[in-house]
């Protein structure tokens, strides 16, 4: 069996080498000729999987992407060829939730907020939205969920309307890019919806760029609109509107989900799916390969303020301002956007940090966010 996997998939060799003959590829040089003998194709979002790429892959029996998003895969074509397709939905949910928490903490400090008095509106209650809701619940931060498709499908959680969401202090977007149908998300935040946001609200987009009309946002900014806009995703990536960057509160290069755990979890999910497809026993797991949790350099004592401790711990693991500063200094072209994403430094999730909290009153919340207790 010939297995081709993209070079940006962590631990792919460790997971798949015993299943078949593995060959690593770069999306830059991949073509139909190279995949002529492929039985299995494993990609990330940088590889466009379509009829042109698979034209000569006559024995292909399994295609999968180690990402939550699937925009880069022509699923209609695969279905027509009776080729099973799997995605790693939810693999980066924890990473994106932690990105959003870092953004909220940074922005709350800038705006001199007390988060216990604020409400977060979550649009999209799938893997990521649910992960964010769990974190906010642990922290005692009020939040509301809006997801019409899930509500109509019978999800029993309490959902609110977009009207209710628009009243929230923070609005965080976690929906797929849907162009039409009953629940389109393209331009969900168009000029009219952006215009009614107040200068004491925060809008965060860490899902798909096309959910916010970037041209409309820029026009409002140029007209003097004050808006706290946090963008990790952009319309027309990688050829984004460079003029919008200076107006944003925080800006990054579609890296919210790019933790080593998130990427590696995607690899593990594809391994488990392939084993199931082939009817073989899965005997490897992610914990076999991830680096062990390291002690935190931050010492937590019983007398410290909870929010100050949380702020220090979260930003010690991931400070969104570092990525924001690098992005602003280096983002000048589509090629640079690709480069920043491709060469993004290794980032860990909170679970990579082990803590000893002693008699700290809010230890349960700290561990509930994702930090591990020292053993």
Q: Name the band, by pLDDT with cuts 50, 70 and 90, for residue 304.
A: confident
| Cβ atoms within 10 Å of 270's Cβ, excluding its own | 27
Instruction: Report pLDDT digits (tens) over 32-77.
Output: 999 999 999 999 988 999 999 999 999 999 999 999 989 899 999 9
Residue 254 CA, chain-centre distance (Å), reads: 8
Lowest mean pLDDT among 147-156, 206-215, 287-296: 287-296
Token pair for 96? 């994106």
Instruction: Say how far apart CA 102 and CA 107 lie, in whole Å.
Output: 9
Residue 11 reports pLDDT greater than 90:
yes
Lowest mean pLDDT among 84-88, 263-267, 287-291: 287-291
The CA-atom distances, in angstroms, between 28 and each of 6, 8, 16, 267, 342 are 10, 12, 22, 20, 12
Q: What is the pLDDT of residue 342?
A: 86
With contact defined as beta carbons under 8 Å apart, do 216 and 193 qualify?
no
With contact defined as beta carbons under 8 Å apart, do 261 and 348 qualify?
yes
Is 1 exposed, middle or buried, given 0-12, 13-18 or 19+ CB atoms closer than 10 A? Answer: middle
Whether residue 347 lies in the annotated active site: no
Instruction: Say how far apart CA 298 and CA 99 lie, in whole Å.
Output: 20
Which strands sit side by side in the sheet containing 228-231, from one edge to the other? 142-146, 119-123, 170-173, 202-205, 228-231, 250-251
CATH 3.40.50.720 fits 2-87+259-288, yes or no: yes
Query: What architecture is the 294-373 domain classified under in CATH?
Result: 2-Layer Sandwich (3.30)
Alpha helices (runs of H) in the chain, residue ranges in sequence order? 12-16, 51-54, 75-80, 93-110, 127-139, 148-152, 162-165, 191-195, 214-222, 260-278, 306-317, 320-330, 334-342, 363-369
Q: Do domains 2-87+259-288 and 93-251 have the same CATH topology?
A: yes
Instruction: Say how far apart CA 133 and CA 126 lie, in whole Å.
Output: 10
From the list 44, 208, 258, 265, the catalytic residue is: 208
Instruction: Say how far apart CA 9 and CA 67 lie, in whole Å.
Output: 10
Whether residue 72 lies in the annotated active site: no
Sorted by where each begins, the domain ranges of the chain are: 2-87+259-288, 93-251, 294-373
Residue 303 reports pLDDT greater than 80:
no
Residue 268 reports pLDDT greater than 80:
yes
Whether residue 258 lies in the annotated active site: no
Please state the pTM of the whole predicted model: 0.93
Residue 102 reports pLDDT greater than 90:
yes
From the list 14, 237, 328, 338, the catalytic residue is: 237
Q: Which fold has domain 93-251?
A: Rossmann fold (3.40.50)
Residue 126: φ, ψ to 5°: -80, -145
Beta bridge mates, 355: 373
From the list 44, 127, 254, 347, the catalytic residue is: 254
Q: Name the band, by pLDDT with cuts 50, 70 and 90, for residue 375.
A: low
Beta bridge mates, 119: 142
Mean pLDDT (the chain) is 96
Q: What is the pLDDT of residue 200?
A: 96
Residue (of 142, 159, 262) closest to 206 by Cα position: 262
């Amino acid at each position: 069996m010939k297995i081709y996997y993209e070079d940006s998939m962590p631990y792919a060799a460790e997971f798949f080498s015993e299943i078949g003959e593995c060959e690593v590829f770069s999306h830059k040089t991949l073509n139909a000729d190279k995949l002529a003998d492929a039985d299995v194709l494993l990609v990330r979002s940088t590889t466009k999987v379509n009829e042109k790429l698979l034209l000569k892959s006559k024995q292909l029996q399994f295609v999968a992407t180690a990402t939550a998003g699937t925009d880069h895969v022509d699923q209609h074509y695969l279905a027509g060829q009776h080729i099973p397709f799997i995605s790693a939905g939810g693999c980066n949910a924890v990473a994106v939730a932690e990105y959003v928490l870092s953004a909220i903490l940074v922005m709350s400090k800038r705006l001199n907020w007390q988060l216990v008095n604020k409400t977060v509106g979550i649009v999209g209650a799938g893997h990521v939205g649910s992960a964010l809701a769990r974190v906010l619940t642990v922290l005692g931060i009020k939040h509301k969920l809006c997801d019409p498709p899930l509500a109509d499908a019978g999800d029993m959680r309490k959902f609110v309307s977009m009207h209710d969401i628009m009243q929230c202090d923070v609005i965080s977007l976690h929906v797929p890019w849907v162009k039409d149908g009953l629940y389109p998300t393209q331009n969900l935040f168009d000029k009219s919806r952006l215009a009614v946001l107040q200068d004491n609200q925060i809008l965060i987009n860490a899902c798909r760029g096309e959910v916010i009309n970037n041209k409309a946002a820029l026009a409002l900014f140029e007209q003097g609109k004050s808006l706290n806009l946090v963008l990790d995703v952009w319309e027309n990536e990688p050829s984004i509107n460079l003029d919008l960057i200076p107006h944003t509160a925080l800006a990054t290069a579609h890296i919210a989900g790019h933790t080593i755990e998130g990427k590696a979890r995607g690899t593990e999910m594809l391994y488990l799916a392939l084993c199931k497809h082939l009817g073989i026993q899965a005997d490897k797991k992610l914990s076999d390969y991830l680096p062990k949790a390291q002690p935190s350099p931050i010492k937590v004592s019983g007398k410290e303020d909870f929010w100050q401790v949380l702020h220090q711990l979260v930003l010690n693991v991931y400070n969104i301002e570092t990525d924001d500063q690098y992005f602003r200094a280096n983002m000048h072209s589509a090629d640079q956007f690709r480069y920043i994403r491709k060469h993004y430094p290794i980032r860990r999730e909170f679970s990579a940090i082990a803590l000893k909290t002693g008699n700290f009153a809010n230890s349960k919340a700290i561990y509930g966010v994702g930090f591990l207790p020292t053993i």
